[in-house]
Structures are given as C-alpha cells and as structure tokens.
Structure 1
Amino acid sequence: MSVSGTSSANSVTDNLSITKKTETKKNTNELGQAAFLELMITQMNNQNPLSPQDNSEFVAQLAQFSSVEGLERLNNSFNSFMSNNALQASSLVGRSVTVESEKSTLVKGGIVAGSADLAYSTNNLKINIYDEVGAIVQTIPVGEVPQGEMVFRWDGQNMEVNGKLLDWEAGDDAAAAGQYRFEITADQNGKNEALKTSLSANVNSVTIGENGKLILNLAGIGAVEAEKVKQFN
C-alpha cells in the first residue's frame, strides 16, 4: 500500500466512505472504530506532503486497532455468554440435584434420595443413618443387592431401595427434619466396604466463581460446582 500526500489520503477517505453522524452521542472515553478511522484520516490529511507517514507505521496502527477491537468483541461475547449461563442456572434455585456427598437435609414432608455403585453383587448391604450430633437414627438391613447402581429414597421413616419398599421395623416415629449422614456398607469381593454415596439436595442459590464456573449452593452440603452434579431431579 502506497501512502503519499493529501491526494492519497483523500482517496482512502473516498474508499472508506466515512460519514459523520449528526445524532448526539453520550460522552465516553472509549475510542470506537469510526472515531479511530476518522482520527487516523485527519492525521493523514494534515501530514507533511514532503514527509508522509511511513507505510509500516500506518499498518502498525491498523494492526493495533484490530487487535484491541478483537479483544473487546471477545470480552463482550464472554460477558454475554456468562450472563446467559447465569440466567439459565438461576432457574435451578429451589430444585433438587444429586451430588456425591454423605450428608443431606431432610425437610418436613420431603425425602432424601440417594445412590451408590456396587462393583459386585452382595447379599449383605446395610444403610446407617446418623443425626447432626452423630447419634445413629436408623440401621437398615437391605440385604441382597445386584451389581451396579443402587438407588434409594428415605422419608425419615420408610426406606425404598431400587423401587421396592423395605419391610423392616422402622418404628412409629419418623425422624425430624434436619441434617443427616448416610453410611452404606456392603460385602464386596470378600470384604465389607463403605461405598461412596450420592445424595439429593435443594439448590438455595447460584453464583459464578472467579474462574467463571457456576457454583450451586446446596442445602446441608454447601458450594458445589455445577459440573459435579450427577443428576438434576
């Protein structure tokens, strides 16, 4: 590209077809694309014809502006993306999700749902439930469970495992609302082992972490990244 004198600058102006807008604009410290080009062309129009701006300097200015503009667009796109994600995530407030945890909160008239994975089938699975101070509330002998995922539902009194209501002495009084810890053990490959437990919890609020990840604040559990949710109930 050759740039020399006022005639060349006028030619660039004609090619860019830049027109001034008559509508009033708000005061801003930001340099937009049109303002940048207008400023650059004004500089070209008023340069010394005997010592025009160097081509490399002209190209460098264009490259610098393109870089800044690209970063600005990327930032705006990212902010829009995060706003949309936050808006969608806010619809989770009040819903129940399942995450890996050994604690959950039983609300009045509600249930705690959970699951555990068995590498082998067993005929000796047991669920122990403890209250907030560590006192055992119920010991539930489930018995035989096949290999794979075992799911359960507990309402404070009755226990349902894999869709079947267990027939055992649950007692007449249901457990009160509050936080409970679940311990599941089973015979696995000749050893009695504690299984990792996933439990349901209500979403109290949603926030965005410093790394841009969505954080779900769960009742009785605390802050958990949205990507660690196993199931949306």
Structure 2
Amino acid sequence: MEGVSTNSYIDSMKWKKEDDARYADPDERSKLEQEDFFKLLTEQLNMQDPSKPVENDQMIAQMTSFTMAEGITGLSERFDQFASDMTSNQALQASTMVGRKVLVPTDKANLESGAGVTGMIATPQTAQNVKISIKDSTGATVKTIEIGDMAQGTKEFEWDGKMSNGEEAPAGNYSFSVNAQVAGQTEELPIQMHARVQSVSTGGDRGVVLNLKGLGGIKLSDVTEIS
C-alpha cells in the first residue's frame, strides 16, 4: 500500500499465536523482555536522524528506567513467593494445634458433656465485687460465679459446667460477661476464653484460620495462649 512505511524488524515482533506458544496467555502479550528492549534500542539508533542523534543521557535514562522496572517486577514476584511460603509454613505449624486448646478474645465458650470451661479476665486496676455471669443460647442466666476482689492484671477462672441448681448444664455454647466495681463505678471487664481447635484453614484474606469447636474460625494471629 502506498504511503505506508514498514520495518521488517518491527513486523517480526508482532505476536503470532501460531508461531510462538510462549504467548498463549493474553497477559504475556504485553510483556517486553530485556532482549526485546535492547533490540528496540538498537533499531532506534539505526533509524535516528543523523543530524539529531540521541543524547547519551537520554539513552542511559531509557536503559535505567527499563532496568528499574524489571527489577521491581522481579522483586514483586519474589515477595509473592515468599508470602506464599510463609503462609504454608504457618499452616504446617498451626496443624500441630489441632485437638489442643487456645486462649482467644471472645466472650463465648463451647461446653462439652461432662466437662468444664476455663477463661481469663483482666482489669486495668484493682477491682471489687467481681462477678461472672454465664448465659445459655436463649439468654437465660444459668450460673453466677463470685470472684470477689481482684488486683490489677489478669486472673484465670473455671466453670465446672454445673448450673446454679447443681445440675449439669447441657452441652453447647454459652456466653460470659464480667462486671466489677472499678474506682467506684460498675464496669464490664474484658474476657478471653479457651476453645478447642478442630481444624486449620488457609487461603483468602484472613491467612491461616483456626476452626474452633462450636465457635467458628479465628485468625491464628488472634491467639494469645496455647494450652
């Protein structure tokens, strides 16, 4: 066709599905490798206007920009691989926790038949008249545990699984709340409960997740203690 100039080298770089299986992936079509860059640079030098040659600093800037882009891409790929390896390693370590109990920041616990539950409460300063209220799934209070006075810090507690009338509470989930007098005012204190790990999951935005019996999943990073 008249008026249209062609260049054999540029034409040779056009993607042809039947000639190059490397670019079967559409994403690969937009990638310019180092060899291609230097071929283009050489072609640019061959086709430049002799009266206005490319300045050295321009050429160096082009080479530097390509090298930096290639380096950043390589670093990103290595980081992704590192993150994947770390997740796999964490999952392997977390798998050893299956069947064990962990302490997690929740006000709920799963009561197993014939067993009790344990937890931990905390207070930023001395507290008086500390009480733990235990409610079943309907919201009815089944037991109140009197702790009394508590110094600043943390304190473990245990519920033997018996209700106020002395009978065994049915197996299932129960909620716990802690109230106390702190500096003359009634406040609710933070609580953590022990839960049994049933399985471990990986993948997704949450990373490694521990699946707790009756309570669902929780991130591995939220575990504060392993029993």
TM bucket (normalised to shorter chain) is 0.5 to 0.7
Q: Is 1:148–2:153 an aligned residue pair? A: yes
Q: Check whether the contact 1:186–1:192 (CA below 8 A) recurs between aligned residues.
A: yes
The structure 2 residue matched to 1:230, chosen from 213, 224, 227, is 224
| Structure 1 residue aligned with 2:185 | 191
Structure 1 residues without counterparts, runs of 5 or longer: 1-24, 159-168
| Structure 1 residue aligned with 2:43 | 43
Q: Check whether the contact 2:87–2:208 (CA below 8 A) recurs between aligned residues.
A: no
Deviation of 1:112 after TM superposition, in Å, equals 3.5
Deviation of 1:150 after TM superposition, in Å, equals 0.8
| Structure 1 residue aligned with 2:9 | none
TM-score, normalised to structure 2, is: 0.66
Q: Check whether the contact 1:121–1:147 (CA below 8 A) recurs between aligned residues.
A: yes
Distance 1:67 1:111 in 2: 61
Deviation of 1:172 after TM superposition, in Å, equals 4.2
| Structure 1 residue aligned with 2:16 | none
Question: What RMSD in Å do the two structures reach over aligned CA positions?
Answer: 3.5
Query: Residue type matched to 2:94 in 1?
Result: L
Distance 1:193 1:38 in 2: 71
Query: Residue type matched to 1:180 in 2?
Result: Y
Structure 2 CA distance for partners of 1:53 and 1:111, relative to 1, 3 Å: farther
Q: Is 1:216–2:219 an aligned residue pair? A: no
Query: Residue type matched to 1:67 in 2?
Result: M
Q: Check whether the contact 1:130–1:181 (CA below 8 A) recurs between aligned residues.
A: yes
Q: Is 1:60–2:61 an aligned residue pair? A: yes
Q: Deviations over 1:131-183 (max 9, x none)?
A: 1111222212233433321112345249xxxxxxxxxx77242x333221001
Structure 2 CA distance for partners of 1:128 and 1:31, relative to 1, 3 Å: same
Q: Is 1:136–2:141 an aligned residue pair? A: yes
Identify which range, 63-72 or 111-120, moves more after superposition: 111-120
Structure 2 CA distance for partners of 1:217 and 1:122, relative to 1, 3 Å: same
| Structure 2 residue aligned with 1:80 | 81
| Structure 1 residue aligned with 2:110 | 105
TM-score, normalised to structure 1, is: 0.64
Structure 2 residues without counterparts, runs of 5 or longer: 1-19
Q: Is 1:182–2:184 an aligned residue pair? A: no
Q: Check whether the contact 1:215–1:225 (CA below 8 A) recurs between aligned residues.
A: yes
Q: Deviations over 1:38-85 (max 9, x none)?
A: 524643674469465442442232122123212212311321232123
Q: Check whether the contact 1:120–1:148 (CA below 8 A) recurs between aligned residues.
A: yes
Distance 2:201 2:115 in 1: 22
Distance 1:74 1:96 in 2: 39
Distance 2:60 2:66 in 1: 10
Q: Check whether the contact 2:90–2:208 (CA below 8 A) recurs between aligned residues.
A: no
| Structure 2 residue aligned with 1:3 | none
Q: Check whether the contact 1:89–1:206 (CA below 8 A) recurs between aligned residues.
A: no
Distance 2:128 2:185 in 1: 12
Paired residue total? 195
| Structure 1 residue aligned with 2:130 | 125
Secondary structure of the corresponding residue to residue 63 of structure 1: helix
Q: Check whether the contact 1:201–1:218 (CA below 8 A) recurs between aligned residues.
A: no
| Structure 2 residue aligned with 1:171 | 166
Identity over aligned pairs, percent: 30
Structure 2 CA distance for partners of 1:207 and 1:128, relative to 1, 3 Å: same
Distance 2:150 2:193 in 1: 19
